[in-house]
Amino acid sequence: MQDTMKSIISTSGREASVRRYRALIEKLGLEDEVAYSKFSSDVADVDSKVDPAVFTAAIRESCLGGAISKDIKALVIPFCDELHETALEVQSVNTIVNKNGILKGYNTDAFGFRQCIESAIDVEVKTGIIYGYGGVTLVATHVLKSLGINDIYITGRNLDKAKDRAEELGVSLWSREMCMDLKDKPYIFVNASPVTDSKLESADNFLDSITCCDTSLPRLVFDHELSGEYLIEFTTRHNIKHVKGMEMYVPQMKKQWVLFLEGKASATDIEKALDDLI
């Protein structure tokens, strides 16, 4: 296994992220204390996915913490010693901090999503439609409920999978019939699926759910994707407020690094350095 001493390791390790976070560490003058790297293991992971047991063992052995981008956000939970209340409620961990051998799991995705939605909503909204049924849907459902948006519907390419996720989360399955109830009511639409960099017509149920069969349009659209050019074009054409995934990514990233570098740099310095690097 790679040398993980004083490291912060990531299951993703995108080139742009690696460059940014190494620059952050250098900007804060911590290059002799902290390293940032993509996690790698000599263990053959099933289906090329990171083994949550191996990943958390590496953090416990010698790392400051670990960042989790996908795949194992729920699977690492049994290997954490403690969970922050949000991670416990969402049952998803994207940040693990090693506190003297005690692994504590956090979910900074929820923090970022709540912050960007709260700042964007300009009217009272009681209804939300979520397209997708993966890990982002867990976070979105939790945050929308915490904001008093309790009338939530889930949809996606596969309505059977959407139905299972809706039942699991105690919300409703989207249907064309329910759209009539939304006429003249403000609602929020959340895209939690990687479909908006292609023509929206190619994603089953997407246009029907975002327009609700032309009976209504959302007051606000959030796209988890960082680019999502086709959804940007759609919201611009219909004069709908659009919240880009970057508006969630930035606050969650700041929160994550404040947790990683606690005791090594102030929150103000970390946030300012990241602003300069983004």
In terms of domains, do 237 and 122 share one? Answer: yes
Q: How high is the pLDDT of residue 179? A: 81
- Side-chain half-sphere exposure of 206, counting CA atoms within 13 A: 22
Higher per-residue pLDDT: 40 or 66: 66
The phi, psi pair for 111, rounded to 5°, reads: -60, -50
Q: What is the pLDDT of residue 71?
A: 79
Distances (CA, A) of 245 to 59, 129, 201: 28, 17, 21
At 163, phi and psi to the nearest 5? -65, -45
Task: Look at residue 216 in the predicted model and tell me its pLDDT.
Answer: 83
Q: Is residue 233 part of a domain?
A: yes
Non-local (6+) Cβ contacts of 26 within 8 A are none
What is the structure's pLDDT at 48?
A: 61
- pLDDT of residue 266 exceeding 90, the answer is yes
Verify that 67 and 40 share a domain, yes or no.
yes
Domain hosting residue 94, numbered range: 7-106+248-277
Question: How does residue 222 score in pLDDT terms, banded at 50, 70 and 90?
Answer: very high
* pTM listed for this prediction: 0.90
pLDDT tens-place string over residues 107-166: 999 999 999 999 999 889 999 999 999 889 999 999 999 999 999 999 999 999 999 999
- Identify whether residues 134 and 86 lie together within a single domain: no
Q: What is the mean pLDDT of residues 183-206?
A: 93
Q: Is 217 inside a domain boundary?
A: yes
**Count of positions (residues) in the chain:** 278
In this structure, the answer to whether residues 128 and 180 fall within a common structural domain is yes
213: confidence class by pLDDT, cuts 50, 70, 90: low
Q: State the pLDDT at residue 1.
A: 40
Burial (Cβ within 10 Å: 0-12, 13-18, ≥19) of residue 3 = exposed
> 220 and 116 in one domain?
yes
Instruction: Give a yes or no: residue 239 inside a domain.
Output: yes
Total structural domains in the chain?
A: 2
- Whether 172 shows a pLDDT value over 70: the answer reads yes
2 belongs to a structural domain:
no
Q: Give the residue numbers marked as catalytic.
A: 73
User: Is residue 182 pLDDT above 90, yes or no?
Assistant: no
- The residue-averaged pLDDT of 8-22 equals 90
Task: Specify the higher pLDDT residue, 83 or 212.
Answer: 83
| Structure-token pair, residue 194 | 């990687």
Q: What's the confidence (pLDDT) of residue 70?
A: 74
Question: Strand, coil or helix: what is 50?
Answer: coil
* Shared-domain flag, residues 119 and 239: yes
What pLDDT digit, counting tens, does each position of 42-87 carry?
A: 554 445 679 999 999 999 998 999 999 877 999 999 999 999 999 9
Percent of the chain having pLDDT more than 90? 80
The pLDDT value recorded for residue 42 is 58
Asked whether residue 195 falls in the same domain as residue 153, the answer is yes
| Residues 120 and 140 both lie in one domain | yes
Domain with residue 175: its CATH number is: 3.40.50.720
Give the per-residue pLDDT at 215.
Answer: 72
228: left (phi over 0), alpha (psi -120 to 50) or beta: left
The predicted pLDDT at position 14 comes to 80
